[in-house]
């Protein structure tokens, strides 16, 4: 008589995960997440564009975008929807990183590592949204890159860890740049369901959007490396700090305007992903 072998805890967990990623709830959370990501980048891009064209307004980052939403009419309701979307996007990225696939697509090992990092970042933004809803501060002292770097410098091998973070960010920037220039993002979309005109439009905004993100991520990575090399935490910058560096460069307002337009394009592209991304 053949012996029935029970599944291991790992196999059982994987089976549960596989069942979840094939559920309607997973698909809905994932697609709502793209809209939430688009809203975040749209706010950041619009703020940056205002600074570029009028020298007014204020550059912001992801946490600042959340506060902008919270300050609007029906802000708490909008922030709740945003928190759900960001949480959904984080769940989608983390499950794809763990399993290596969704119901419609599969990931390479590099994509799974990227998904892990992205899932953690957007999970943090979801938590920040919840803190704003509950009246807590969404941006504590450790949310500032220079203060975070200063804290890490106190760790064993902290200088090397900050430098490694810079290398990782430069790697992400390179990946985003190549993905945009070579239009590899189209492989992730259901282009067969698009009209010719829509595919051209999505290709255009996807290209400039990915390149703009690459520029910003590259600057964040570069200044993290600079902070590690000079052992000066004040050199570390986040997304808003990177935009400030662009503004202060030669022809800064023009450059910032182009990058801001690219971030807005990425926001629109993200919203299009809500409909056409292979989950």
What are 35-88's pLDDT values in tens digits?
999 999 999 999 999 999 887 778 888 888 888 888 888 888 989 999 999 999
Q: Residue 141: is its pLDDT beyond 80?
A: no
Q: Give the pLDDT band (50/70/90) at residue 4.
A: very low
Residue with tokens 């570390």: 236
Q: Residue 140: is its pLDDT beyond 70?
A: no
Cα 53 to Cα 254: distance, rounded to the nearest angstrom: 8
Q: Are 38 and 270 in contact (CB under 8 A)?
A: yes
Among residues 219, 220, 208, the alpha carbon closest in space to that of 177 is found at 208
Q: Are 41 and 49 in contact (CB under 8 A)?
A: no
Give me the mean pLDDT over the 10-30 stretch.
80
pTM: 0.87
99: which 2 tokens? 């399993």
The secondary structure of 190-208 as a DSSP string is: -GGGS-HHHHHHHHHHHHH
Cα 209 to Cα 255: distance, rounded to the nearest angstrom: 14
Q: What is the chain's mean pLDDT, rounded?
A: 88
Beta bridge partners of 189: 277
CB burial string 190-223: b at 16+ within 10 A, e below: eeeebeeeebeebbebbbbbbbbbbbbbbbbbbb
Cα 130 to Cα 123: distance, rounded to the nearest angstrom: 11
Q: pLDDT digits over 155-213, tens only?
A: 888 899 999 999 999 999 999 999 999 999 999 999 999 999 999 999 999 999 999 99
Give me the mean pLDDT over the 254-264 stretch.
96
Q: pLDDT digits over 214-223, tens only?
A: 999 999 999 9
139: which 2 tokens? 């941006």
Q: pLDDT digits over 111-128, tens only?
A: 888 888 899 989 999 998
């Amino acid at each position: 008589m053949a012996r029935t072998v029970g599944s291991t805890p790992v196999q059982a967990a994987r089976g549960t995960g596989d069942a979840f990623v094939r559920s309607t709830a997973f698909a809905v959370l994932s697609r709502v997440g793209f809209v939430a990501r688009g809203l975040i980048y749209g706010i950041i891009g619009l703020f940056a564009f205002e600074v570029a064209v009028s020298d007014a307004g204020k550059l912001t980052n992801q946490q600042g975008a959340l506060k902008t939403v919270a300050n609007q009419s029906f802000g708490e309701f909008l922030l709740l929807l945003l928190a759900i979307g960001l949480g959904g996007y984080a769940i989608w990225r983390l499950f794809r990183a763990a399993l290596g696939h969704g119901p419609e697509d599969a990931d390479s090992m590099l994509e799974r590592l990227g998904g892990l990092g992205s899932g953690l970042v957007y999970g943090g933004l979801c938590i920040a949204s919840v803190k704003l809803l509950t009246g807590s501060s969404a941006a504590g002292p450790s949310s500032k890159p220079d203060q975070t770097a200063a804290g890490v410098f106190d760790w064993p091998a902290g200088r090397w860890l900050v430098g490694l973070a810079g290398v990782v960010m430069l790697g992400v920037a390179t990946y985003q740049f190549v993905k945009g220039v070579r239009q590899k993002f189209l492989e992730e979309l259901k282009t067969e369901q698009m009209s010719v005109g829509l595919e051209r439009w999505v290709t255009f905004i996807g290209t400039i959007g990915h390149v703009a993100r690459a520029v910003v991520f590259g600057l964040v990575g570069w200044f993290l490396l600079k902070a590690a090399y000079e052992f000066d935490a004040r050199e570390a910058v986040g997304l808003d700090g990177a935009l400030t560096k662009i503004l202060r460069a030669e022809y800064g307002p023009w450059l910032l305007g182009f990058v801001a337009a690219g971030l807005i394009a990425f926001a629109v592209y993200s919203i299009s992903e809500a409909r056409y991304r292979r989950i």
